[in-house]
A and B are shown apart, each in its own frame.
Chain A
Amino acid sequence: MDAEPMGTPQAVIATQGLTKHYGKVEALVDLTLDVQPGEIFGFLGPNGAGKSTLIRTLLGFLHPTRGSATVLGLDIVADSVEIRRRTGYLPGGIALYDSLSGADALEYLADLQDRGSTMRQELCERLQMPASVLRRKVRDYSRGMRQKIGVIQALQHDPELAILDEPTEGLDPLMQHAFYALMDDQRAKGRSTFFSSHVLSEVERICDRVAIIRSGQLMALQNVDDLLARRKKKVELRWRGVAPDLTGIPGLADVEVKGDRMRATLQGDVSGFVRAIASPSLEDLTIEPARLEEAFLEYYAGDEASEEMRG
């Protein structure tokens, strides 16, 4: 497992050997990780891997079997109420009060949060929830609208830490991008986000670090950039006339030449490769960046779950 130093004192989330059993089922096993202030932390795993169990344990819905954890420096068992005051939570597949209008639901939840709703207006504008829509009953909302209300209720009180479980589920591509921009702004403001997802492209797009969990166990905890830097990129060349000399290029492997085309994988520094192939005969060059999906699938090699994530 690739792990980084953990449990720094200022971590907004720090778990130490956190374990949760349901009877004989081990939902979380000895989980140790940390989330730093101002960070967007991606928590990856297929359904049933333990993502929601960790979130629910951090928020006091579940009681840990062993181990400990703090959120914003507060103990998850002793200080659960204070933790919930200072965090925002979007449950996966959020259910709302159908008999209330969107505006009333947000007002009610803000009142219960007891921290005001300083960001509501901005969030409603950015997620395109105008007053005319907010006046309608939640029961009349589409899935995407409910999800937007879910995101707004989680962030409207400007929490120090947002815990978001599958936040873009049901959002159209336009709203997904509005959400990503929102996350970027949260990071810029120094707010932290714990982000659970199985949409790998969005985790890659917005997260600073990522943890990969499998059967309740931490498989990897790394910077997204580092994780991708160590992955192999796909390269493709096309030339006219004499083929470039590809021997001895560091990191180049799986070379496959067909006529005037060459496909290969490249690990490590790109600049050495570009220098080596530079030639007037070069007609086209494509370097496909490494994807988080490949890194993820490696941890799930041979696992049915990888099929689920791929889908």
Chain B
Amino acid sequence: MNLRLYLQTLRWNRVRLAAIVVASVGWGMLIPVVYVAFADAFKQLANSGAFPKELLNFGSGSLFTLPGALTLGLQHPLAIAFVGIFAVGSTVSAIAGEREGGTLEVLLSRPISRRTVYVTLAAATATLIAIVMLALLGGQLIGVAIQGVGDELDLGLMPLVFLNGLMLWSAFAAFGLAASVSFDRHAPALGLTLAYLLINYFLEILGSLWRDVAWSQEYSLFHHFNPGQILTGDADPVDFVILAVAIIIPVVYALIVFPRRDLSAPS
């Protein structure tokens, strides 16, 4: 890993990171407020039978319990947008964007191997994702403390939730970087990575809302990010294994493909 490139990559993202951290903390704080305000109403609604209970779920989250509410907050499109800016946006730009802009040539004319460049950018991306995850979880914990519902939560399990989230988004980031090293242009890498993210999301949400196709969730990486299950002490190690595999495959691919690619002059 190249420390100078790592620090510079973080520096380039600092303004965006600061804005997203603030937004993430705010969003995280809001979730316990919504839970406290609406949990009973949702429970009554579910028990009344007016609505099928599935329709009151969102992915693996719900507003029936605090762990479920926290899950909902972390799987909500807003949270996905916050983390996705780095896991998708930054990763596809990292190589393909620099290549398209011509700056990759200047970078690679330094004594840095392509593998080192890849590993450094991957580490920087993981750092950015970790910071946003910490902001989201930190915001949620602040909200929990403010609402005085800390007794519904086993705080000792929060690091595992963090790890689970970090692994989920690292899997998408690894895919984004793999796409980024494969194309000379930003647009196809972004399209492919966004498609991958959206398909995963669609399979998870579809399965949660329509029980007949609940099987589709098994094929979604989001289904293996389940803070609710972790916070109730039912963490499934298989989820972590699946996410680890989803990280390793694109990383290995990129480490093989990137050093072997011909990088002709940018047009």
Report A's interface with B, CB cutoff 8 A: 22, 52-53, 56, 59-63, 80-82, 84-85, 89, 91-97, 99, 108-109, 111-114, 153
Q: Which residue of A lies closest to B5 (CB)?
A: A112
A112 and B107 form a contact (CB under 8 A): yes
Q: Which residue of A lies closest to B104 (CB)?
A: A95
Question: Are the CB atoms of B110 and A22 closer together than 8 Å?
Answer: no
**Are B106 and A95 within 8 A (Cβ)?**
yes
Q: What separation, in Å, do the CA atoms of A82 and B111 have in the docked complex?
A: 6
Partner of A56, one of B12, B112, B265: B265
Total interface residues on B, using CB and 8 Å? 23
When A84-B111, A85-B111, A112-B2 are in contact, do A94 and B262 touch as well, CB less than 8 Å? no
- Is A109's CB under 8 angstroms from B264's CB? no
Q: Are B264 and A95 in contact (CB under 8 A)?
A: no
Q: Is the beta-carbon distance between A91 and B12 smaller than 8 angstroms?
A: no
B262 x A95 contact (CB < 8 A): no
| In the complex, chain A residues whose CB is within 8 Å of the CB of B8 | 108
- Which among B111, B112, B262, B263 has the greatest number of chain A C-beta atoms within 10 A? B111
Q: Are A108 and B4 in contact (CB under 8 A)?
A: yes
Q: Enumerate 12 A-B pairs (CB-CB under 8 Å) in ascending A order.
A: A56-B264, A60-B108, A61-B105, A61-B264, A84-B108, A84-B109, A94-B102, A94-B105, A109-B106, A112-B107, A113-B110, A153-B106
Residues on B with C-beta less than 8 A from A89 are: 109
Whether B264 pairs with A113 at a CB distance below 8 angstroms is no
Q: Is the CB of A95 within 8 A of B111?
A: no
Answer yes or no: B159 CB below 8 A from chain A CBs: no
Give Cα distance in the complex from A292 to B215, angstroms: 74
The closest CB in chain B to the CB of A86 belongs to B111
Structural contact, B103 and A97, CB atoms closer than 8 A: yes
Instruction: Assess A91 versus B4: contact at CB under 8 Å? Given A56-B265, A96-B103.
Output: no
Given the complex, which residues of B lie within 8 Å of A80, measured CB to CB? 113
Across the interface, name the chain A residue whose C-beta is closest to B2.
Answer: A112
For residue B102, which residues in chain A have a CB less than 8 angstroms away from its CB? Answer: 91, 93-95
Judged by a CB distance under 8 angstroms, whether B188 is at the interface is: no
Are A61 and B108 CB-contacts (below 8 A) given A95-B266, A97-B103? yes
CA gap between A94 and B263 in the complex, in Å: 15
* Chain A residues within an 8 Å CB radius of B4: 108, 111-112
Q: Interface digits, B1-13 against A, CB 8 Å rule (1 contact, 0 not)?
A: 0101100100010
Query: What chain B residues lie within 8 Å of A111 (beta carbons)?
Result: 4
Q: Total contacts A to B, CB within 8 angstroms? A: 69
Nearest-CB residue, chain B, relative to A154:
B109
Give 13 new A-B contacts, CB below 8 A, not counting A80-B113, A82-B111. A52-B265, A59-B108, A61-B263, A81-B113, A84-B108, A84-B112, A91-B102, A93-B102, A95-B101, A95-B106, A108-B4, A112-B5, A112-B110
- Rounded to whole angstroms, the CA-CA distance of A96 and B107 in the bound complex is 10
Distance in angstroms from A24 CB to nearest chain B CB is 15
The contact of B103 among A61, A84, A95, by CB within 8 Å, is A95
- CB nearest to B12 among chain A residues: A99
Residues of A within 8 A of B105 (CB): 61, 91, 94-95
Which residues of the other chain, A, contact B112 by a CB distance below 8 angstroms? 81, 84, 112
Could you tell me the distance in whole angstroms from the C-beta of A95 to the nearest C-beta in chain B? 3
CA A124 to CA B185, docked complex, whole Å: 34
- Chain B CB count within 10 A is highest, among A22, A80, A81, A95, for A95
State whether A94 touches B111 (Cβ < 8 A): no
Kindly identify which residue among B5, B106, B263 contacts A62, using a CB–CB cutoff of 8 Å.
B263
CA A94 to CA B105, docked complex, whole Å: 8
Q: Are A22 and B264 in contact (CB under 8 A)?
A: yes
Task: Report the Cα distance A293→B105, complex, angstroms.
Answer: 31
A52 to B264 CA separation, bound complex (whole angstroms): 9
CB distance from B95 to the nearest CB of A (A): 13
Interface centre among B101, B107, B113, B264 (most CB of A within 10 A): B264
State A53–B112 Cα separation when bound (angstroms).
Answer: 20
- For B101, the chain A residues whose CB sits under 8 A away are 95
- Least distance between A82 CB and chain B CB atoms (Å): 7
Chain B residue at minimum C-beta to C-beta distance from A55:
B265
User: A81 and B111: CB pair below 8 A?
Assistant: yes
Nearest-neighbor residue (CB-CB) of B262 within chain A: A62
Cβ contacts under 8 Å, B263 to chain A: 56, 61-62
Which residue of B has the minimal Cβ distance to A97? B103
